[in-house]
Structure formats: structure tokens, C-alpha cells
Amino acid sequence: MRRLQICITLFVCLAASVTFAQKPTIYLFPGQGSDYRIFDSIQFDSSYSVVHITYEIPPQGISLRDYAYSLISQIDTSKPLILIGVSMGGMICSELSPILHPNKTIVISSAACRNELPFRYRFQKYFPLYKIFPKHLLYWGALVIQPIVEPDRNVCKTTFKTMLREKDPIYIKRTIGMITSWDKDSCDTLSIIHIHGNNDHTLPIRNVYAHYTIENGSHMMTLTRGVEIEVLLQKIIN
């Protein structure tokens, strides 16, 4: 009887360890003007390993696709994975999805392809007005414009302001170039799951194919509406 109990215990432990090992790693990609703190309002099941992707200053003239590929060094491609990206991070995920074949690719307040960007971004591929302005002017412009365009950012004002202030002006200007010159044509609506707010003024919902819509959600909703986003992510992931 004692041996049977030991065998059963060992079997249960082995089964549990195998189940845990099969859980994919969640990789989180922040937006252009944010970092790991954009996900502070979202809690993931403790059985998942979570990795926050970090961004370096892009080399001059690099494409968004090539920049996305450079981030693969932060990803363990030998294990199952889930990609979750916000804003520019979602665009990066949409570039990585076809080559990494993740269990899930989820983009939030983002665009899955160039056609989902508003015209004011797309036309700058051919008329790059941002190049006229000094990098420091673009940087301070972002600090001033962000709370005007997305006023609910003031719910977490200190966090948003700190994240943006910590960005290098060169990083801001070069990532603007990556976004406006993005050339990905296919949105992959079957393999990329899109969560979007219907009050997003940065990337208006009218331009995107959203699988899930957050009522009155803004471009900042990952942090300001984290509880709702968390519920949706649990539903999608599990």
C-alpha cells in the first residue's frame, strides 16, 4: 500500500511538472513611448513565465521589420511562446509572428499592418515631415501632445510622463521613422488577435480590424483600463 501511495504521488508530481513545462512564455512588448510599466495593471497567471522586451536606440534608417528581428535575441525560440504588444510593440509582434510561430499573437491599441495606420502616419512614408524638426523638438512635442490627444492618460499621469521622459530624443525620432515608413501589407487577421479601444485617438478604431473592443478605451488603456484588458487576455490565452 505504501509503495502504491508513493507511485501515485510521483505520478501526480511528474504530471504537474510536465504541465507547467508546457506553459508558453509570455513576451511583453511595450509601445514607443513606454516600457515595462505599461503592463503594471495586468496580472498574469503565476504558472506563466513573463519576459519584458526592452528597446535600444534603433540604428539610423533601420526598418521596423529589421528592428523587430533584432529583438529575437531576447526571446527563447526553443520553447512555446506568446507575443503581446502594445502600440508600436504590437507592430513589432506582427512582424515576428510569421517567423516565430507563437501559440498566440495579441496586439493592443496597435496596428497589425500599414493599412491600419491613420493617413497622417502613412503619407509621411513619401513626405517625411518629421525629418524637418530637430529631435529635441519632436521629443518635447510628444510630452505636450500626449495628454491632449489621449486625456485619460492623466489617470496615470506620473507613470506616463516618467516613461516618456526617460526616452532618448534620438530614439523618439528614429522610431517615428520606423513607424511612418512601415511597409507590412498583410494584416494576418486570422493569426493576430487585436484588442482596441473605440476612443483611441492615436490609432483610431475605424482603421483597424478589432477582434475585441474596449468601450471608451483610449490608446493608453493597457494601463488605465488594465482590469478589463487582463480579463480579456486570460480568456484569449487560457
Q: What is the pLDDT of residues 48-98, one digit of tens each?
A: 999 999 999 999 999 999 999 999 999 999 999 999 999 999 999 999 999
The Cα 196–Cα 215 span in angstroms is: 9
Beta-ladder partners of 81: 25
Nearest one of 75, 80, 101 to 23, comparing CA atoms: 80
Q: What is the pLDDT of residues 98-141, one digit of tens each?
A: 999 999 999 999 999 999 999 888 877 776 666 665 566 555 55
| Side-by-side strand order, sheet with 104-108 | 50-52, 25-29, 81-86, 104-108, 192-197, 212-214
CATH 3.40.50.1820 is the classification of domain 2-237: yes
- Mean pLDDT in residue range 12-41: 78
Burial 68-105 (b: 16+ CB within 10 A, else e): beebeeebeeeeebbbbbbbbbbbbbbbbbeebebebb
Phi and psi angles of residue 81, each rounded to the nearest 5 degrees, phi first: -145, 160
- Mean pLDDT in residue range 228-236: 96
Write down the residue that cell numbers 493576430 correspond to.
192
The Cα 52–Cα 91 span in angstroms is: 16
Q: What is the pLDDT of residues 161-188, one digit of tens each?
A: 788 888 898 998 999 999 999 999 988 8
Q: According to the model, what pLDDT value does residue 189 have?
A: 82
The Cα 177–Cα 173 span in angstroms is: 6
The Cα 224–Cα 215 span in angstroms is: 13
Per the structure block, which three cell numbers stand in for 80? 512555446
The Cα 66–Cα 63 span in angstroms is: 5
Helix, coil or strand: residue 82:
strand
Whether the CB-CB separation of 2 and 185 falls below 8 Å is answered with no
Nearest one of 16, 40, 3, 6 to 159, comparing CA atoms: 40
pLDDT at 42 over 70: yes
Nearest one of 100, 127, 125 to 29, comparing CA atoms: 100
